[in-house]
Amino acid sequence: MAMAGGSDDGSPMMEMNMTPLIDVLLVLLIMFIITIPVATHAINIDLPAPDPDNPPPEVDPITNKIVILQDGVILWNAEPITQGGLVSNLQESLNFAVEPELQFEPEANASYEISAQVLTLIKASGVTKFGFVGNEKYRQFGSGG
């Protein structure tokens, strides 16, 4: 039985068999890949420290109201609050025996992006007693009929 490229006359083949060489190279490649250390990319971020002189507004055990102002300021019970303070207040409100009601009222020209971010924070916090208030101010009455 003849191999492709060889002859059947009994003389030695002049071509080198590449299969064992390729097998050895593949094994070496796999060993090299396994021994490479996992690349970890660390980014150092300087996070702002909480300001002890300006604590976030307190959480009311009955009703809390979030208002988004036209200039992008977030108010918690009529006091300005950051998004980080909002998250901590939302978590604190869940610690009461009865969860307080959370009301959300953006102003007419408030930023949609900030409103969406605040709603995302509220949803992620797990608050269940939530409602939109003040929408009746924006109702447009028809000409009658």
Burial of 65 (0-12, 13-18, 19+ CB in 10 A): middle
Confidence check: pLDDT of 85 > 50: yes
Average pLDDT of the segment spanning 135-142: 71
Q: What are the tens digits of pLDDT across the range 14-64?
A: 788 889 999 999 999 999 988 888 777 777 877 777 666 666 677 777 888
Q: Which domains does the chain have, with CATH numbers?
A: 64-134 (3.30.420)
Cα dihedral sign, 81-82-85-91: positive
DSSP state of 68: E
Q: Could you say which DSSP state residue 51 is in?
A: -
Q: Tens digit of pLDDT for each residue in 89-126?
A: 888 888 888 888 889 988 888 888 999 999 999 999 88
